Structure 1
Amino acid sequence: MGVSSDNVHGLVLALSSSLFIGSSFIAKKKGLKRSGRSGVRAGLGGFSYLYEPLWWLGMITMIVGEIANFAAYAFAPAVLVTPLGALSIIVSAVLAHFILKERLHIFGVVGCVLCVVGSVAIVLHAPQERAIESVKQVWYLAIEPGFLVYTSVVLCISLVLMFRYAPRYGQTHLLIYVGICSLMGSLTVMSVKALAIAMKLTFSGSNQFVYFQTWFFTVVVVSCCLLQLNYLNKALDTFNTAVISPVYYVMFTTFTIFASMIMFKDWDSQKASQIVTQLCGFVTILSGTFLLHRSIDMAQNNVPNEPEITSETNLNSV
């Protein structure tokens, strides 16, 4: 990885984003719990959380984090920025332990550390960003056969999950809601990167908003974000926050880097050893996620008399 000023700016923005986003999970979960006591829960299709100030605090915090994340993509490649979301796992899990009383076992701490170690391995061996001088270049990359096939597959799977499996198994299988968010998230990031590049070039004097491609990417970003927000709320209201965060991170990061590899051909200029190291980083992250998931189960089994945890245990039969 280079040490250019752009990379430094991208890293700082990505780290700040993770801190804000990790905190937002907690505020939104508290707001969802409060709204569920007086109205229809989000997990059952209700929208009473829109009247809860704490939920809006979490929403604003998440927006700030997403803006920082958006800016990071204008300076650094997706393969470098996306894995840094591991920090949000640490923030979310630790705050959930102290604020939401969602107990984090010692194995959960080890799991968080493994997630960070895996992310560091990916970051240190991330490919260099290719030079982009116009949003049209991103558009030509997006309409190449390989990425069009990927987009078609993602849309088909997401539609099947939304209309066939979510109504039947969404309340009992975590991967349904998180899978929809992660799949659509990979398309969101590609569009976000295109839009961030367009804005960066515009601010530098080359107006990119005269091209329809910039507006197309804008529409995709807004549409996908609204869809992700809806299903993320359902997941947060139904399952344990300390489990949602790492699972969502792993799936989202995997799909995003895979999409970036296809669209921007990130691995074409890398050696086999660098690619293998990045794959090892993913295995490390997956191991950390497994430990964190198991630690939550162990903590819940140790405190069966707490009504809040017992109810979530019944829902969290993935």
Structure 2
Amino acid sequence: MNARLLPYVLIAPVTLFLCLFFLYPFVLVAKQAFSTGAGFSMDNFRDVVTYWKFPISLKNTMLLAVAVVPVQVALALLMATMVTRMQKGRDLVLYVWTIPLGISDLAAGIIWLAIFEQSGFLNTMMNGLGVVDKPVNLLSYQNPGIVFLAIALAEIWRATAIMLVILVAGIGLIPKEYYEAAEVFGASPWKRFVRITLPMLRPSLQTALVLRVILAFEIFAVVAALGGTLFPVLMGETYAYQFDLLNSGAAAAMALIILAISIGFTLIILRILRVPKGASI
């Protein structure tokens, strides 16, 4: 076989897979979003954007992303640094920290619901300590801050491991000679982290951030378990359009809006954490 054709032959199965299971469904969704009975139209987008819940769901989704993602980045960096410096028990600790990866979004929400609900662990503990006389309904419209906190904590617990795995792999690729040379010249652990780890970790950090931000805008099951209709988000409204209101055109429009927001933030991250040519993850 011609050596020039070999790369194209090798990527042909992947290309076919993407065309069948990504491009074709995307075209169908776009067709639904931009068309009505009269042909091409922007009515679905107008209906979605002018609906009273859209600004609230957009604000809630943005607030969750802003609150959760930076905390997850800091935690993942701290945990990855700790794991890579461990001499014994490294694999066990990493395994324990990545257990939430094996739990579905809905299961994670139900676990945290068992903590925050009226008959849950938190109420039982506060009652036992004498903080409250009787169980309090924490996840109600009267406590929007607690609802937000519960969702944020559940997301941090559930999805930090995604970034952790990527960053641990990235730190493992940094040559040890850099740290040894810095230590010889008297660089403190903090300086080694700032001057060596962070710059060399940029490709991995870029990948982890892009993946996590995209998933942050797709949050649904955790919110449904803990907040329900008290905390509308974009994906929740997409579900409501499709299955409650049976409006597939509006649901497709919402899906494209979420896609556009994700692409926009991905480009911002790629711009800020631009990886120099020749760098690898």
- Shared fold, TM over 0.5: no
Greater helix content: 1
The TM-score, its normalising length taken from structure 2, stands at 0.29
The TM-score, its normalising length taken from structure 1, stands at 0.27
